[in-house]
Homo-oligomer: A and B are copies of this chain.
Amino acid sequence: MAQTNKNKIINDPVHGFINISHPLSFDIIEHPYFQRLRHIRQLGLTYLVYPGANHTRFQHALGAMHLMNLAIDTLRSKGHEITEAEAEAASAAILLHDIGHGPFSHSLEFSLAQRVGHEAISKCFMHELNKQFGNRLNLAIAIFEGSYEKKFLHQLISGQLDMDRMDYLRRDSFFSGVTEGAIGSERIIKMLNVVNGDLVVEAKGIYSVEKFIIARRLMYWQVYLHKTVIAAEKLLTQLLLRARDLTQQGEEVWATPSLYFFLRKSIVKKDFEQSSDGKPSEALLNFANLDDNDIITAAKLWVNHSDPVLSLLARMITSRKLFRVKLQNKPFAEQEVETRKQDLYSLYPTLRGMGKYFVLTDSVSNNAYRSTEESIKILYNNGILFDITEASDMLNTKILSKDVRKYFLCYPKEIEK
Residues of A at the B interface (CB closer than 8 Å) are 9-14, 16-17, 32, 35, 38-39, 47-48, 50-52, 54-56, 58-59, 62, 174-180, 183-184, 186-187, 190, 207-208, 210-211, 214-215, 217-218, 221-222, 256-257, 289, 291-294, 296-297, 300-301, 318-320, 368, 393-396, 399-400, 404
Complex CA–CA separation, A186 to B218 (angstroms)? 16
Contacts of A210 in B (CB 8 A): 214, 217-218
User: Cβ of A177: which chain B residues have Cβ within 8 Å of it?
Assistant: 11-13, 16
Which one of B14, B175, B180, B257 lies within 8 Å of A187 (CB-CB)? B180
- How many copies of this chain sit in the oligomeric assembly? 4
Cα of A293 to Cα of B58 in the assembled complex, Å:
18
On whether the beta carbons of B48 and A52 are closer than 8 Å, the reply is no
Indicate if the CB atoms of B214 and A17 lie closer than 8 Å. Answer: no
In contact, B54 and A56 (Cβ under 8 angstroms): yes
Report the separation of the CA atoms of residues A394 and B64 in the bound assembly, to the nearest whole angstrom: 28
The main secondary structure of chain A at its interface with chain B is helix
A393 touches B396 (CB 8 A): yes
Is the Cβ of A399 less than 8 Å from the Cβ of B404?
A: no
Residue in B closest to A54 when the chains form the complex, CB atoms: B54
Nearest Cβ in chain B — how far from A80, in angstroms?
16
- Residues of chain B lying within 8 A (CB to CB) of residue A58: 51
Interface contact A13-B301, CB-CB below 8 Å: no
A56-B51 contact given A214-B211, A393-B404, CB 8 Å threshold: yes
Residue on B with the closest CB to A37?
B51
A54:B51 contact, CB within 8 angstroms: no
CA–CA, A17 and B301, complex, Å: 34
The 9 closest A-B pairs by CB, nearest first: A11-B177, A207-B218, A13-B177, A54-B54, A297-B297, A396-B396, A13-B52, A180-B184, A293-B296
